[in-house]
Amino acid sequence: MKLIRVAAAALNQIPLDWEHNLQNILEAIALARQQQVTVLCLPELCLTGYGCEDAFHAPGLHRTAVEMLRALLPATRGMVVSVGLPVVYAGAAFNTACLIVNGQIAGFVAKQHLAGDGIHYEPRWFKPWPRLIHADVELAGGNYPIGDIFFDIGGVKIGFEICEDAWVGTRPGASLAARGVDVILNPSASHFEFGKNAVRQRFVLEGSRAFNVNYIYSNLLGNEAGRAIYDGGGLIAAAGKFVAQGARLTFMPVTITSATIDVDATRMTRARSGSFEPDVDGDESDLVKIPFPWPDCRPTAVTANLQTWEHSPEVEYEEFARALSLALFDYLRKSRSSGFVVSLSGGIDSTAVALLVRTMIDLVLAELGSDALAKKLNISDVQLPADAAAWCGRLLTTVYQRTRNNSTTTENAAQQVAAALGATHYLLDIDATVQHYVEMVGAAIGRQLSWPDDDLPLQNVQARARVPGVWLLANLKNSLLLATSNRSEAAVGYCTMDGDTSGGLSPLAGIDKHFLRQWLRWMESTGLAGLNPWPIVQLVNNQAPTAELRPLEQQQTDEGDLMPYEVLDRIERLAIRDKLQPIDIWQRLSAEYEQVEGQVLADWIAKFFRLWCRNQWKRERLAPSFHLDDENLDPKTWCRFPILSGGFERELQQLSAYVKSTLETKL
């Protein structure tokens, strides 16, 4: 048996925070050493941070990255460690993994397939390395191999697939297997999406099986740069079987997932494989040989404890709460803010935001404890809050802002939800402020404003009048103001710019209203594993969603203004994600919603397209949001659309004629 102790690290890094990133790397190496690990795989671009964006074009970044690389070399003596950093060669920047052996640089493997879709913009900063090409680069006071290379470290062959390299059909692992590689390292920066972890598990498992290798997958962790959330969750597989899996969505800054692998066993599995075709051309110019004395290693029990995150609503609810809790916590501490402020209306969206903050506190306390929470937030009080509710009072401020158009139902719901969470809650009566604006403008234009003539302006002025007070509270507390708009509202502009969209961060802008309603009901009845449910949110769940911006006697509801949220979200997916035309959508949905009259459905589809086009400018101005799936509407990272456009008028005219003809034919 040739036994080797290997590990994958998950690191919570910060772009351009050199000391922080280096210390996390050094801690990972120290933790791995404590576990008798010899081969350690660190995440992609972990030295600089993955999300440096256009700073990757700065010469100073590359100089400092090399300095940090040299600084960590002494800590790797007696080990084989891969670390991710950008390298400039031939006038271009490449995304590389540096393999360090016994304190010395062995070479740099360059990424061959760049992530350039969705939220990824790697081709903006890096060039893909061409297959089968290798060269030498002068770096860190030496001359080292770079490119499409692999390594023979003391008789054990090690190769790389860097993140996207493993997601494509022509992944490098196939050629590495033909060259007899024993271990494939995959340093990744793979962001969270619903159901995505199951895909990672499949390609790691299949890579280890098809290539007959030991496969080590590492990943970034947490909210690194503001929008993307990274899962962590190291994976280690051997010849088609998992041998270890690390924790996902943890609040720990560094985690190590380790296992003992048997190189001889995977070699024999490969030798017995009838489909294995070795590369025997004898050309070893791309092989870097480094002597290394492998330490003795004893067999250990397999502790995979594999979590299978199958796609289901319950799993999505759990993932949503844990991913956003981690994202909020990292955003809070990395922005050096003292807490959060939420304008709590007593409705679904603001309640969901406040509940996510409390969930964040519960999860951090359960995993790290009160002292660690205080340390991470730089709180040095002699007496810390005693429990989660007290911590919530310290970190979360909620405000209900009343006008004559608000009901006692929402006011009481906001007050009772805030009390149950433990938030510091304020009631502000802004009716006089609203009326002052209405009367002031009415006097200026020479007429009295009225609901029959000025419905939309009178609605909007209330939403905007709420903003100065809540911003003032946020500034006084050095806190982040959280906007409460969701993706469904963003799609059709059913939000007031500089009103309910105001804030430094918009946690819900990537999730639809229908999901939020289901999630809040789940939190009421079930809640997260290991935590209690929140029956108090029944006060919110039992209400019909309403902006409460018209007089109460008009009984305003969101769905009355728009359409049923379930239908709206379905139209959005078909129109924006799937890029279907209005007629195609009507044909699809008329079969799904047979109970809806055909003309009504056509009117809803037309309303969606017109509101979508009219409100792109609002989506351009939304506060940063978190990426959760492939249905994000954020124009800065996912869904680009012109601010000015033809508005699908020709397509909507075709829809109108088609529906009229179809309905007449049925008659």
What pLDDT does residue 310 have? Answer: 55
Q: What is the mean pLDDT of residues 105-123?
A: 95
The DSSP annotation for 252-321 comes to -SEEEEEEEEEHHHHHHHHHH-TT-----S---TTEEEE---PPP------B---------HHHHHHHHH
Closest CA to 425 of 452, 396, 454: 396
Instruction: Tell me the β-bridge partners of 159.
Output: 184
Q: What is the mean pLDDT of residues 598-613?
A: 97
What structural domains and CATH numbers belong to the chain? 3-290 (3.60.110.10), 313-557 (3.40.50.620), 563-667 (3.40.50.620)
Give the pLDDT band (50/70/90) at residue 667. Answer: low
pLDDT (tens digit per residue) in 553-571: 999 999 999 999 999 999 9
> Computed over its alpha carbons, how large is the radius of gyration of the chain?
28
Lowest mean pLDDT segment, chosen from 22-26, 278-282, 652-656: 278-282
Give the pLDDT band (50/70/90) at residue 381. Answer: confident
What pLDDT does residue 637 have? Answer: 87
What pLDDT does residue 309 have? Answer: 47
Residue with tokens 């939800």, as numbered in its chain: 417
Give the pLDDT band (50/70/90) at residue 306. Answer: low
Rounded distance, CA 100 to CA 187, Å? Answer: 14
Cβ atoms of residues 97 and 187 within 8 Å: yes
What pLDDT does residue 189 have? Answer: 97
The DSSP annotation for 611-647 comes to HHHHTHHHHHHSPP----STT---TTTT----SS--T
pLDDT (tens digit per residue) in 203-241: 999 999 999 999 999 999 999 999 999 999 999 999 899
Lowest mean pLDDT segment, chosen from 278-292, 429-443, 469-483, 518-532: 278-292
Q: Does pLDDT of 373 surpass 90? A: yes
Q: What is the mean pLDDT of residues 424-448?
A: 97
